Amino acid sequence: MNFHRLAVFCVCWAVSSSEMQRPEDDPDKDALRYDGFVVLEMTLTSDLQVKLLTDLKEEVRRKEEHGTTTLEEWTGSINKERPFSLLLAPKVAPDVLMLCHKEGIQYEIVWNDLQSVIDLQNAEAVSSSKTDRDDGIAAQTSGMTWARYHRYSTIERYILALPVVHPDLVTIERLGLTYEGRQVWVVKLGKPRSDGIKKPAIWLDAGIHAREWISSATVTFMLNELVTKYTSDPIIRRLVDQVDFYVVPMVNPDGFEFTHQKERLFRKTRRVNPFNACIGVDANRNYDFQWQTERAELRPCEITFGGDFPYSEPENRALFEKVLDLKGDLKSFITFHSHSQLWMLPYGYTFDLTPDDAVVRDLAVNATNALRALYGTVFRVGTSAEILYTSSGTSRDFAKGRTQIKYVYTVELRDTGEFGFLLPAEQILPSGLETFEGVKVIALRIIEEFARN
């Protein structure tokens, strides 16, 4: 066993023995099940249909207890411009279907038992856990693969292993503790310049919404490609030599662990809200730029509850402070979500365009063209307000509006709603490979525009 492998083994053993976690595929016995939950794709054609369905949604929400999911947007939002999907609990589905038949609303049943899809996702992860890929010593010794979804303990072991295996390329930093005491890590990847000149930087993060497992899997895949192919791929070598990457593989580890243990579709953080039984805040509505102005709820039981005040969540405070510390160095900020296959630019809180919208949009088009060339996956490009919905207090709008980073994007990964948040593990590798093609286009533009020879 060589020194790197022995050192990584010691680090990973220490993390594993300290946590004493259950096996990765063993959720709690009292975990919420989604038996009989239905996903409907709907197409509305009139303002009246929009109003009736919105009113029904609000009526259902008022009757919900402790934030229990009974009617929720699955893809997009209720509108008449484009199709969208709703997730319906068994007790709500008949009312929605009755409204559809009465008002002539077009619909298609995507799934009639969501628990079977959840079981399939987990089964795919177990059956495809072996792969012929050589993902490097850090992945091998930490148990990290991209053929399945892993728990946070495995992701953290992988993060800790990276600077041991790649000390010339990688450093890691603790950004802060979550509400439940987990570390939020940032990985800095880049070859220091021999002349000491500071390099332009790119920020990548994932996992701010707990249920969006593919986001973290995709970002860690891209991180691994950068470190393991540095010596063999000339494009990757150029990126790592001329750009510093700051990568946060998991913004919300508390919520992420909860989706593995208790409630697969949980979205928020896990902080206790004072005087309320509903747990957590939508961390992507909790930034101080245009906080609570658009599509951010004041009611703690709503999935888009933006908190009692900006940066109420320790995870957000940690990222906020680091991004501000890097102000001036960061030339691109990309936050990864799922799903819908969207490459979105600022802003979400308004339909007004930024002064540099044309150049930022053009680069997004180039990135999605490169992405599509690999597997034919089509991503739409536009502002969040244009192609998804209005939203405020987001990390994307903060990065653009508060820190003036030039190339800021939210990327909603695969798919367009069939599996949604439950994307099978067999799609992790294709998602990682195609997304990396898009990110490379962004990084090459940063080099051309900002790197100094």
Contacts of 123 by beta carbon, 8 Å cutoff, 6+ apart: none
Contact 209, 258 (CB under 8 A): no
> Do 303 and 267 contact (CB within 8 A), yes or no?
yes
SS3 per-residue string spanning 407-430: EEEEEEECCCCCCHHHCCHHHHHH
Angle ∠(66,69,72) on CA atoms, nearest 5: 130
Which residues 6+ apart lie within 8 Å of 329 measured at CB? 198, 200, 201, 244
Structural contact between residues 317 and 281, judged by C-beta atoms closer than 8 angstroms:
no
My answer on whether omega of the bond before 339 falls inside 30° of 0, hence cis, is yes
- The one catalytic residue among 41, 412, 434, 437: 412
Task: Give CA–CA dist 118/346, Å, rounded.
Answer: 33
Half-sphere exposure of 429 toward its Cβ, with a 13 Å CA cutoff? 13
Q: Is 449 an active-site residue?
A: no
Among the residues of 229-343, which ranges form H helices?
Answer: 234-242, 253-261, 314-325
Cβ atoms of 178 and 377 within 8 Å: the answer is: no
Active site residues: 412
